Amino acid sequence: MALEIMRDERVRSVEWRDLCELSRGEVIRELLISVPWLVVSLVLAYFELWIFALGASFMFFLCGLRQVHNAFHYAVGISRKAHEYLMFILSVVMLGSMHAVQFNHLRHHRYCMNDEDVEAMSARMPGWKALLFGPRFPYLLHKTALQLGNSRMRRWVISELVANVVWVYLVMFVWDIAILKYHVLAMAIGQCFTAFFAVWTVHHDCDRSYYIARTIRERLKSFATYNMFYHVEHHLFPKVPTCHLRIVAERLDKVAPELQKMRVF
């Protein structure tokens, strides 16, 4: 990780441990935050309102990323085992192995923006190349997790991929339910855009020393994106749940306001 910023005494002085605990209401919200968008997307698809359905699916995918992102760091406020099963469920609903993504994400924190950081590969490209790189990105994440992960990680990845194969087969060749076919295709498209929206946007033009990530400060934009773009705060305090990152940002701004320099948008 970027040692210069981590060694900054101002950053180290920021209190964050009090923000790691979630109330029961916050836990329930984190577990259900993507469900309304999933329901809305399927209803809109049922009525063949495809453009609006895709918009709702995009929001579901964004909320799903928030859920798995917290689960990667065991920050949803549930047991460790429950985090593992949450990742398994979202692996099927969003397609792919979320444990494979977790493996690469934790390496991303360890090797941020270095050559070993597979997750951040797209951040080192121009935006248009990051978009074209998108379909290859999930393949590289899964390949890396299977090659470098321990036996426990490989078991999770393989079980999630098998569950995906069964799910896609049932949806595409057994059940004749159009809205489920739509959902699978929408999630496949979402996976192909992850390298751009989830990685490039928060790391492009950042360096490997002090400015390791981008952030957001406007309340309306933050609200509309479910606090997903307080990314420099997440890198500095990865155990803090997403719903509390705004508070971290306020505390960080008081001691190191220059970190606002790198904005997401």
* Domain extents in the chain: 3-261
10 confidence band (pLDDT: 50, 70, 90): confident
Handedness of CA 69, 74, 79, 80 (dihedral sign): positive
Tally Cβ neighbours within 10 Å of residue 156. 22
Mean local confidence (pLDDT), 45-64: 96
Q: What pLDDT shows up at residue 264?
A: 80
The amino acid at residue 202 is V
Q: Has residue 265 got a pLDDT over 80? A: no
Measured between alpha carbons, how far is 251 from 27 in angstroms, rounded to an integer?
Answer: 23
Mean local confidence (pLDDT), 226-233: 92
CA atoms within 13 A on the CB side of 63: 21
Q: Has residue 2 got a pLDDT over 90? A: no
For residue 144, count CB atoms less than 10 angstroms from its CB and return exposed for 0-12, middle for 13-18, buried for 19 or more: middle
**Of 252, 264, 240, 198, which is closest to residue 8 (Cα–Cα)?**
252
Q: Each residue of 170-202: pLDDT tens digit?
A: 999 999 999 999 999 999 999 999 999 999 999
Task: Quickly count helices (H) and strands (E) in the chain.
Answer: 15, 0
Percentage above 70 pLDDT, the chain: 97
Measured between alpha carbons, how far is 199 from 161 in angstroms, rounded to an integer?
Answer: 23
Q: Has residue 61 got a pLDDT over 80? A: yes
Q: What pLDDT shows up at residue 1?
A: 47
Measured between alpha carbons, how far is 114 from 99 in angstroms, rounded to an integer?
Answer: 21
Kindly report which listed range (54-58, 196-200, 248-252, 256-260) carries the lowest average pLDDT score: 256-260
Q: Has residue 8 got a pLDDT over 90? A: no
Q: Each residue of 96-115: pLDDT tens digit?
A: 999 999 999 999 999 988 88
Q: 67 CB contacts (<8 Å, ≥6 apart)? A: 30, 31, 33, 34, 76, 86, 90
Kindly report which listed range (46-50, 68-72, 110-114, 236-240) carries the lowest average pLDDT score: 110-114
